[in-house]
Structure 1
Amino acid sequence: MNGEEWSPHHRFCLAVTQSSFKKGEISENIRRHSRLVYCTAADGARVISFPELSITGYEPTVAAETANDTGNQRFDSLQGLSDRRYVTIVAGCPIRLEEAEPFIGAFSIRPELPIEFCQKQFIHPEEFSWFIPSDDVVVYQSHWHEIGVAFCADIGHPVHAVDTFQKLGNSCAVDAMAFSECDSPAVYDLAKYARIYRFPTTLENYVAESGRLPTGGRNTVREGHKCRDQENAS
């Protein structure tokens, strides 16, 4: 299905992915992203989301050397895939602007549109050695829906959900990229925000250890009063 064939009348399908990625090996990780995009797009997904820092793995020790500059062309192959399959790809990587340390970042690749970048607002105390926080609240349009991007530490802060909701203005999908245990407070926050603000929330985890952290468990999709957990998949 291409952009000319897709319309707002089609069912909107958002996919959350769970996989393992190699520490700092960007080319190999992009290939893994591409394979997952092909599979999920074939099943009708229009927005396909990956875990926090998926392009490098959740590996703070290599963040400085693997950080992406927002004008970098390393994602051209994913942009081409987005254009051909008419899908939006949300993935994570360190982002460096002018500061000494990088941000924990995410990029959203949309069909035939500029890449949207955002940086994590609230970082964990142990991340301060490697990253800096931002004040980003990013909402963008994909397939006639609004998408908001959050991160693990962000989704535990009510202000992030409130700011995102105020930017949205209508009922739409919100994507939360996270690395959290299934029974963590963040997961309950996702359910609460879905119920209060009446938009879907998602949680993406790694299927294997990354950055010496164990896998966070199953992916989760919260649709207001509903909840679906995805079993681990490689």
Structure 2
Amino acid sequence: MPTLTIAAAQSASIAGDLAANIREHQRFMQAAAEQGVQLLVFPELSLTGYERGLAAELAILPDAAVLQSLRDFAREVGVTTVVGMPIRLSHDSPVLIGALVLGADGSLGVYSKQHLHDGEELAFAPGTGGSTLTIGTDTVALAVCADFSHASHAAAAAEQGADIYAAGVLITEGGYAPDTSLLQGYAGEHSMVVLMANHGGVTGGWASAGRSAIWAADGSLIAAAPGAGNLVVMARRDAAGWQGQVIAVTEE
């Protein structure tokens, strides 16, 4: 199999501060680039924090100029990066929970969360998903948090030919065991590598469990963060198979 390095960015978001969160994302992207990461996935709503009350105010069009510096940086460091952001598909359309794919080639992909968690309907409308993306010879399907609680979502990803199922999430300690059991199960059931990028700290009043993880296509664990905090959880594939690594992203 061709070599591949993918990673979950376990970042802590600053509530509503897009400029500060962009800078923080760039630190993670730089650290990932130094490790040869080709695909880096951030948590749900990573660029704003999980701030439902601020979503309408902060929502942007996917190609908004405010994210151009981050798109340029993804291309500069050569890391295709999936970031979380409240989005609108037009100026007068509903707010969606978006996952924007900032391509290492300068491209922009848009995924919107299809299945809302209870209460999210107060701030967001259901989205329509998005296309798979290609990293080398691998096909990646995206998910955002509650999407994966529907078995049909992972099954559809497998039917689309996905080798990797990558989810940006917000999972607390209480939900961690059942949620990761589902994700690990999808890996084995559908023969997909499954990546889960969880928040690294408190966001929107929720204490994230951290413990971002990546499972191999047989359901075995490749790598997992030990807890919360600013960490990059990586999985590298070479001729010998998959190896995991976790690195800290330290303050400048």
TM-score, with structure 1 as normaliser: 0.90
In the alignment, what sits opposite 2:70? 78
In the alignment, what sits opposite 2:178? 185
Instruction: Please provide the CA RMSD for this pair.
Output: 1.6
In the alignment, what sits opposite 2:224? 229
Secondary structure in 2 matching 1:97: coil
Determine if the alignment matches structure 1 residue 220 to structure 2 residue 216: no
In the alignment, what sits opposite 1:130? 123
Contact 2:111 2:128 in 1 (8 A): no
Amino acid at match of 2:152: V
Determine if the alignment matches structure 1 residue 65 to structure 2 residue 60: no
Contact 1:13 1:44 in 2 (8 A): yes
In the alignment, what sits opposite 1:3? none
Amino acid at match of 1:52: E
Amino acid at match of 2:205: R
In the alignment, what sits opposite 2:167? 176
Identity of matched residues, %: 26
In the alignment, what sits opposite 1:13? 5
Q: Alpha-carbon deviations, 1:151-197, whole Å to 9, x = none?
A: 111001011011111112x6x22211111136342211110110011
Amino acid at match of 1:233: G
Secondary structure in 1 matching 2:65: coil
Stretch deviating more after TM superposition (76-85 or 36-45): 76-85
- Aligned-residue offset at 1:100: 4.7
| Aligned structure 1 segments of 4 or more residues deviating by more than 4 angstroms | none
**Residue number among 22, 39, 55 corresponding to 1:47 in the alignment:** 39
Q: Alpha-carbon deviations, 1:108-150, whole Å to 9, x = none?
A: 1112242101110000121111000023243111233211110
In the alignment, what sits opposite 1:5? none
In the alignment, what sits opposite 2:248? none
Structure 1 residues without counterparts, runs of 5 or longer: 1-7
Stretch deviating more after TM superposition (186-195 or 136-145): 136-145
Choose between structure 1 and 2: higher strand proportion: 2
- Aligned-residue offset at 1:217: 2.8
- Aligned-residue offset at 1:225: 2.7
Aligned length: 224
Answer 1 or 2: higher relative contact order, Cα 8 Å, separation at least 6. Answer: 2
Stretch deviating more after TM superposition (75-84 or 101-110): 75-84
Q: Distance in 2 between matches of 1:104 and 1:149?
A: 13
Q: Distance in 2 between matches of 1:163 and 1:25?
A: 35
Q: Distance in 1 between matches of 2:156 and 2:164?
A: 15
- Aligned-residue offset at 1:23: 0.8
Q: Distance in 1 between matches of 2:25 and 2:108?
A: 16
